[in-house]
Amino acid sequence: MRKFAFGTSVLGLAAGFMFGMGSAVSAAEPTLSEADFEEAKLLYFQRCAGCHGAERKGATGKSLEPKATQKLGQKRLEKIITLGTEGGMNNFDDIFSKEQISKLATFIQMEPPKPSEMSLEDMKKSVKIYVKPEDYVKKPMHGRNWENFFVVILRDAGKMAIIDGDTKEVLSKVDTGYAVHVTKETSDGRFWYTIGRDGKQNKIDLWMDPPQVVAESQIAYDARDIAVSHYGEWKDKYVIAGGYWPPHFVISDAVTMEPLKVVSTRGVNVDGAFVNEARVAAIYNTPKSPSWVVAVKELGQVWQVDYSDLENLRIEQMDSHKFLHDGFFDPTQKYFQIAANASNRMEFFDTTTRKFVGSLETGKMPHPGPGANWTDEKCGPVGATGHIGEGMITVWGNDPEGHPDQAWKTCYKTETDGAGLFIRTHPNTQYVFMDQPKHPEPEIQQSIQIMDKKTRKIVKTIRVTDREKSIALHGEFNADGSELWVSVWARGGKADWMNGEIVVYDTKTLEEKARIKGLETPTGKFNVYNRVHHVT
Amino acid sequence: MRKFAFGTSVLGLAAGFMFGMGSAVSAAEPTLSEADFEEAKLLYFQRCAGCHGAERKGATGKSLEPKATQKLGQKRLEKIITLGTEGGMNNFDDIFSKEQISKLATFIQMEPPKPSEMSLEDMKKSVKIYVKPEDYVKKPMHGRNWENFFVVILRDAGKMAIIDGDTKEVLSKVDTGYAVHVTKETSDGRFWYTIGRDGKQNKIDLWMDPPQVVAESQIAYDARDIAVSHYGEWKDKYVIAGGYWPPHFVISDAVTMEPLKVVSTRGVNVDGAFVNEARVAAIYNTPKSPSWVVAVKELGQVWQVDYSDLENLRIEQMDSHKFLHDGFFDPTQKYFQIAANASNRMEFFDTTTRKFVGSLETGKMPHPGPGANWTDEKCGPVGATGHIGEGMITVWGNDPEGHPDQAWKTCYKTETDGAGLFIRTHPNTQYVFMDQPKHPEPEIQQSIQIMDKKTRKIVKTIRVTDREKSIALHGEFNADGSELWVSVWARGGKADWMNGEIVVYDTKTLEEKARIKGLETPTGKFNVYNRVHHVT
């Protein structure tokens, strides 16, 4: 509203607000050649977008929009990328060259390129069938005890290893999407679905000899989690996967991997502000109802998505806190427990009433991974998480029916040497196992700590590896809980990959039993029996 | 991926898709001075965005993105704005000056400015209380038969007139948002909530003498519909209003008008493509359950939004067809009937099962407005709509329980002289009344046509006005159905406004009974008794 007058002043104001007033363009905006811009864009997507967002508005990491980065300037940005920060950002001088760091520092001072959308039609075109469903084998062809197989992420190789838990033989390494975050199974444990960081979802058949990928499709450019429908008449009918970008979830046919339905998760967060890049973190099937829980990270909401009628899709948008990450169920399979890591909280939902039921302040940045449940002598049934931000195990009551006074309240906390990612236990062991890969010191990040459920104290520390640039992480049990498998991730670049291994411990004696060698960057492991039977 | 190689080719592809390849910028992009740009932006918002969208991606009107408009060029665009199109766009030479048309033609060839967001915090700041709830009067202060009041939109004046239906006196004209589209009432009919095109929602108290606005707030920059919660314990507790921009709906406290909850409607349409500007068209309370139906125009989905728990908000996203516009309930108040005007269809939803139940091909661009239901001798209970695209009344069966063979199927069609907006009837009249304001000829757009329910034939045409630049539209009945009130909208600019009037007809004799004069651009009218008792 400058030299002219039109309409009511109310409307003038509205239009002024609506489009924003004229914005200044910096005369000295940094620039890159087209080739350098494309390179920086790719590096940013691979290594930075996960924390800072495809649109650079920030999430786990800070906002990297030009108004913020231009203030810091080229030199300071290069230093931050090179050395990392106190706030938790890694150093990148072992991953990027000096030239690449310089390009990235310039790139993040320029206007972020607008990320592309992906339509259902695009996704449908991406379907690849390697084995037709009518050609699926009718029984396990290898005669092995496949219910004790381990499905193992070989992260940086973009593969999954299938390992025989009885014999410790590596049966196959199958190609999947890049940097798989997680894999989920059909209700009988035969088929396993992976989701890559590149949004590719693959379906693996454990009955083939050797186990093999039978179908794939792509549902996003960046993604983190996947789940299968397990309830009632919809058992093993649908697969759902969540996108980081585009921010949405996609329901596909679990047989053919054909995408069927896309639902955007862009929305208004629990503070009332619109978030375009509202990403899907964790997704789980809810055993007590025909639905999945979908954690929409930046919104601070868990959406319970009912799969009983895709054309009249029912969703409960359950408010909690930001930013949601990963979660697990209580032993009754009724309550969903998930970390809101930016709020230093665990959040609790009743998936039968489809409502938020509680919130617990934990240590700094809780991260349960697949989580741990057991029964404490004083508190009754409990759940537990480790933390990315500090060396601590937080244990809470999770039995509101039997122990209402303890429910969603801290039972106790036990300190560990270093911050970690994965806490695990099993009904057949008296111990709780916690890794510590987020600690900067090699001797700690290469060790796991073991807590006694009875005394609540750390009773042993095991150095899993002492190889340079290797870290120990993620425990998983064999079917009867007599063994704990821990990954050793050799991080010294591609030439070092094959030095990765899995170390197997006896869960009674805590002695080493075996080493499974020649595994490229193993991370998460999934035992068929334990996952099918929800053993956490 | 040009001169460098990094990561897997899969990922290279993903990042390439994700951000799009380098886009060319036209060297000869048209420009405007800042003042002219601001003027054109405002004109565009007031007159063009409703059909072409705030982001200019098109909806009812065509896409006006630079790639499309630059091909047409300045001269051709000016001609289209001046004269309109065969496709249904009005001429604008009577609204804009030649200079303004030239600026608009340039503006729409430039990159659209990014529209602003509006947070819950922004909305909360906009609340204005004119009368505190504790100071509300305890009974009607004017001693009038307020249940026969008419609440009348004075569209271009940004006001509502309150008219005594018994005496035909104009009791007050109260200030509201700009170009109110609709008003909805509390369950007793005392309070009326308006929503302006500027996103302002106002609350009017009919018991005051004279009736007056008691509170307001703003929930969007552009908006169309509003509704109140009427069910069970939530009766008259919440108001919901929908935004065109930002594309969202907002639930507010119906007493204080304080916004409480914002939900984005940006989403994936029924064809599987993401739509950023997915606007909220119609919103209605569902009498049979604690919810509203929210029509998300561009998605082709009706969202049934449950208001029984705002923190665990349940929504059914019910798929139908694009683009959804306005709707009404069947006489049992169970089925919601809404126009998908771009698909030339009526869509039907069962609001008790919260599911899509049927779809009917109609004539071109159905537009029921508040709609009409009656009982046909052959088909049983029926609903009906007129059309924006042709002069026709389409009548369908809407009683799946009693007349399953007729349900959601065409019973009959009756031609009228011209395309219209509003069809109306009442149980106490044998007639159905249809307006024709979309016909280009004055003698038709100034006339309503009357169909006999028994013979299904047009039995009379009434010329409501013959004033230049005036059109006749929108019928509403008084409480006992003995009168039909029709608006005469004097469109000759602000100087002509006060020539607007309402003409009252006897619904038995079809003779004129009265003219209520001095009304600035009257359009929609809402009789308290009929709306409270769902008389359609």
Instruction: Tell whether B76 is covered by a domain.
Output: yes
User: Who has greater pLDDT, A305 or A55?
Assistant: A305
Under DSSP, the state recorded for A420 is: -
Q: Are B147 and B529 in contact (CB under 8 A)?
A: yes
Report which secondary-structure segment, H or E, holds B73: helix B66-83
**CA-derived radius of gyration, chain B:** 24
Instruction: Tell whether B503 is covered by a domain.
Output: no
- Please state, in angstroms and rounded to a whole number, the distance separating the CA atoms of residues A456 and A432: 9
Q: Which residues on A lie below 8 Å from B6 (Cβ)?
A: 39, 42-43, 46
Instruction: Tell whether A9 is covered by a domain.
Output: no
Q: Which residue of chain A comes nearest to B493, CA vs CA?
A: A7
User: Who has greater pLDDT, B5 or A47?
Assistant: A47
**Would you call A311 and B356 a contact, using CB atoms and an 8 Å cutoff?**
yes
DSSP B13-72: HHHHHHH-S-----TT-----HHHHHHHHHHHHHHTHHHH-TTS--SSS----HHHHHHH
Last residue of a domain, one of A263, A293, A323: A293
pLDDT at A85 > cutoff 50: yes
User: Who has greater pLDDT, B138 or B96?
Assistant: B138
* Residue span of the structural domain in which B32 resides: 28-107
pLDDT in tens, B221-268: 999 999 999 999 999 999 999 999 999 999 999 999 999 999 999 999
Write the CATH number for B84.
1.10.760.10
Q: Which residues on B lie below 8 Å from A245 (Cβ)?
A: 18
Which residue among B181, B230, B248, B325 is the active-site one?
A: B325
Q: Are B30 and B109 in contact (CB under 8 A)?
A: yes
pLDDT band at B19 (very low <50, low <70, confident <90, very high): low
A156 with A289, same domain: the answer is yes
- Please state, in angstroms and rounded to a whole number, the distance separating the CA atoms of residues A177 and A119: 19
Q: What percentage of chain A reaches a pLDDT higher than 90?
A: 84
DSSP A99-145: HHHHHHHHHTTSPPPPPPP--HHHHHHT-EESS-GGGS-SS-SS-S-
Instruction: Tell whether A351 is covered by a domain.
Output: no
pLDDT reported for residue B46: 79
Write the CATH number for A170.
2.140.10.20
Q: Which residues of A are catalytic?
A: 48, 51-52, 89, 325, 367
Last residue of a domain, one of A79, A107, A135: A107
CA triple A54-B16-A279, angle to 5 deg: 25
A102 with A121, same domain: the answer is no
Q: Is B52 a catalytic residue?
A: yes
Selecting from A17, A39, A113 the residue whose C-beta is nearest the C-beta of B221 gives A17
A250 with A125, same domain: the answer is yes
A38 with A178, same domain: the answer is no
Instruction: Tell whether A281 is covered by a domain.
Output: yes
Distance from CA of A432 to the nearest CA of B (A): 34
A439 with A463, same domain: the answer is yes
Instruction: Tell whether B9 is covered by a domain.
Output: no
Q: Are A382 and A408 in contact (CB under 8 A)?
A: no
pLDDT reported for residue B463: 98
pLDDT reported for residue A201: 98
A164 with A258, same domain: the answer is yes
Q: Beta-carbon neighbour count of residue B176 at 10 Å?
A: 27
Distance from CA of A492 to the nearest CA of B (A): 15
pLDDT band at B28 (very low <50, low <70, confident <90, very high): low
pLDDT reported for residue A536: 78
Q: How many CB pairs under 8 A join A and B?
A: 229
pLDDT reported for residue A19: 58
What the block records as the tokens of B403 is 């007349």
pLDDT band at B102 (very low <50, low <70, confident <90, very high): very high
Cα B138 from chain centroid (whole Å): 33
Q: Which residues on A lie below 8 Å from B218 (Cβ)?
A: 14
Selecting from A4, A38, A267 the residue whose C-beta is nearest the C-beta of B39 gives A4
A78 with A167, same domain: the answer is no
Give the three-class secondary structure for A510: coil
- What mean pLDDT comes out for the span B66-71? 92
pLDDT reported for residue B18: 59
What the block records as the tokens of B487 is 């608006």
Q: Which residue of chain A comes nearest to B245, CA vs CA?
A: A18
**Would you call A11 and B117 a contact, using CB atoms and an 8 Å cutoff?**
no
User: Who has greater pLDDT, B55 or A59?
Assistant: B55
Instruction: Tell whether A415 is covered by a domain.
Output: no
Q: Which residues on B lie below 8 Å from A3 (Cβ)?
A: 35, 39
pLDDT at A218 > cutoff 90: yes
Q: Which residues on A lie below 8 Å from B17 (Cβ)?
A: 116, 118, 221
pLDDT reported for residue A18: 58
**Would you call A178 and B8 a contact, using CB atoms and an 8 Å cutoff?**
yes
A133 with A213, same domain: the answer is yes
Domain count, chain B: 1
pLDDT in tens, B401-427: 999 999 999 999 999 999 999 999 999
pLDDT reported for residue A495: 87
Residue with tokens 């965005």: B49
- What mean pLDDT comes out for the span B386-398? 97
A90 with A183, same domain: the answer is no
pLDDT band at A8 (very low <50, low <70, confident <90, very high): very low
**Would you call A2 and B34 a contact, using CB atoms and an 8 Å cutoff?**
yes
Q: Which residue of chain B comes nearest to A44, CA vs CA?
A: B15
What the block records as the tokens of B3 is 């001169």
Q: What ipTM describes this predicted complex?
A: 0.92
Instruction: Tell whether A341 is covered by a domain.
Output: no
Last residue of a domain, one of A55, A76, A107: A107
Distance from CA of A397 to the nearest CA of B (A): 23
pLDDT reported for residue A165: 98
**Would you call B158 and A8 a contact, using CB atoms and an 8 Å cutoff?**
yes
Write the CATH number for A505.
2.130.10.10
Residue with tokens 């979660």: A327
